[in-house]
């Protein structure tokens, strides 16, 4: 019985450690999708809104950054919705250059990674708050990951609309699935993250 409990505890810790490693890789992947989209597009086009009151890539970036700085600054000790955050202002495009936009984008991601990379498995069940709502750190990470994936998807979609036939694919290009799969299945089975060779 003692051995069983030890084995269960060990496997749980291993799973939690695997979760943290996977989370970091997944966030890095979403950042890379944004990076590769922003790189392809001129500053003027990054500010393009396709309809009245729709959000440009520039505005989406500003919102993501505002959310990240609020959620991940001192996230273990302070509410994730900071008193200094001005969320409504995030939907007004104030970037004056592509360089400023990219610097802001990187600042938001740096804040996130600086908060997550030091975490250990013992932290995952700690309670933090967002607008006074309690979340385990696991729940808070999952919540934010889905939020950022949602918005990065918007950025990529708008990028494809803007670039049209000049778009450089960020995944498997159309008509190339068979060749992509052939390359994958020619490798031996083994544990690796799907982003390792992107």
Assigned domain for 190 exists: no
Give the pLDDT score at 185: 82
pLDDT tens across the length of the chain (198 residues): 544 444 444 444 555 578 999 999 999 999 999 999 999 999 999 999 999 889 999 999 999 999 999 999 999 999 999 999 999 999 999 999 999 999 999 999 999 999 999 999 999 999 999 999 999 999 999 999 999 999 999 999 999 999 999 999 998 777 778 876 777 787 877 766 677 766
**pLDDT for res 100:** 98
The answer as to whether 96 is a domain residue is: yes
**pLDDT of the residue at 15:** 52
Q: Let me know if residue 191 belongs to a domain.
A: no
Q: Is residue 193 part of a domain?
A: no
Q: What is the pTM of this model?
A: 0.87
Question: Do the domain assignments include residue 63?
Answer: yes
Number of domains present in the structure of the chain: 1
Residue 126 counted as domain residue: yes
Give the pLDDT score at 197: 66
Q: Is residue 35 part of a domain?
A: yes
How far is residue 196's CA from residue 25's CA, in Å, rounded to a whole number? 9
In-domain check, residue 175: no
Q: What pLDDT sits at residue 3?
A: 46
Domain boundaries, position 52? 2-168
* Nearest C-alpha neighbor of 73 from the set 81, 46, 150, 143: 81
Task: Give the domain CATH number at 163.
Answer: 1.20.120.450
DSSP codes, 135-182 = EEHHHHHHHHHHHHHHHHHHHHHHHHHHHGGG---SSSPTT-HHHHHH
pLDDT of residue 10: 44
């Amino acid at each position: 019985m003692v051995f069983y409990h030890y084995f269960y505890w060990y496997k749980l810790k291993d799973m939690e450690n695997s979760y943290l490693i996977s989370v970091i890789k997944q966030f890095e992947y979403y950042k890379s999708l944004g990076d590769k989209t922003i790189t392809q597009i001129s500053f003027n086009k990054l500010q393009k809104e396709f309809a009245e009151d729709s959000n440009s890539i520039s505005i989406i970036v500003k919102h993501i950054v505002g959310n990240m700085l609020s959620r991940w600054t001192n996230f273990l000790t302070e509410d994730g919705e900071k008193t200094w955050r001005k969320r409504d202002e995030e939907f007004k495009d104030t970037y004056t250059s592509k360089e400023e936009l990219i610097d802001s984008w990187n600042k938001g991601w740096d804040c996130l990674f600086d908060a997550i990379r030091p975490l250990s498995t013992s932290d995952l069940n700690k309670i933090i708050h967002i607008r006074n709502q309690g979340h385990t750190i696991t729940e808070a990470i999952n919540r934010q990951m889905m939020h950022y994936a949602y918005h990065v998807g918007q950025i990529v979609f708008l990028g494809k609309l803007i670039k049209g036939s000049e778009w450089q694919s960020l995944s498997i290009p159309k008509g190339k699935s068979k060749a992509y799969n052939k390359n994958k299945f020619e490798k031996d089975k083994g544990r690796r993250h799907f982003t390792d060779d992107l």
